[in-house]
Amino acid sequence: MLYSLTVSAQSKQVQFERAVAEIMQCLEKDDLATINQKYIHPGIELFVVYRMGVPDIFYRTATLEKDSVYSSPYFYTASLQAEKRQLKPGKVDFDCDKEQWTRKGFFYQKNVPQLLSNIVKFLKQYELVDTETETLNTIKTIENNSYRIVDTKSSVVFYLTWTGNKWCLTVFDLVSMDCSA
């Protein structure tokens, strides 16, 4: 039984690394159709986090689109051959004072920031906006079952969530390196 669990964990990690590599390749080639078809779960969809003025905000969409009103130029500029660089575990943040990442490279972080939950709390407290229960449950699933991926070369930040025995793209983070607020 222990052997089975070990093989399963290894398989999950291999699937994760393949998903990251393929998503980065698709971003590099501007192949959003493949991302939409293979990596966006129809029940969870994709949360795009952006900044409008001071607060961070998100919108939920069934497809990743290049011409979205809120997308930033670096959103689709995955660095060339990112899939050939080593994906390393570890946390990395953007230092607004130095205007650079705290480390350089291609990283994944198992304990993701509570980005979506914090936005919901802010909106409820200051904007008096309630979020639907289904969305709150989806956010909880994302924040408890995701890895955060950061490519510091191209400033691409996204979350992959393990659901239904596969990795799904659930969050595109456009605010981690936005120091405007």
pLDDT values of the chain reduced to their tens digit, one per residue, 181 residues: 555 555 466 799 999 999 999 999 888 888 889 999 999 999 999 999 988 878 899 999 999 887 665 555 444 555 555 556 789 999 999 999 999 999 999 999 999 999 999 999 998 998 878 899 999 999 999 999 999 999 998 889 999 999 999 999 999 998 998 888 6
Could you tell me which of 82, 103, 99, 68 has the C-alpha nearest to residue 156? 82
Supply the pLDDT for residue 29: 84
In this structure, the strands spanning 100-101 and 166-173 are: unpaired
CB-based contact 124:133 (threshold 8 Å):
no
Supply the pLDDT for residue 153: 87
Torsion angle in degrees (nearest 10) through CA of 137, 142, 143, 149: -170
Cα 17 from chain centre:
14
Supply the pLDDT for residue 84: 65
Could you tell me which residues are beta bridge partners of residue 168? 161
Question: Tokens 């449950």 — which residue?
Answer: 137
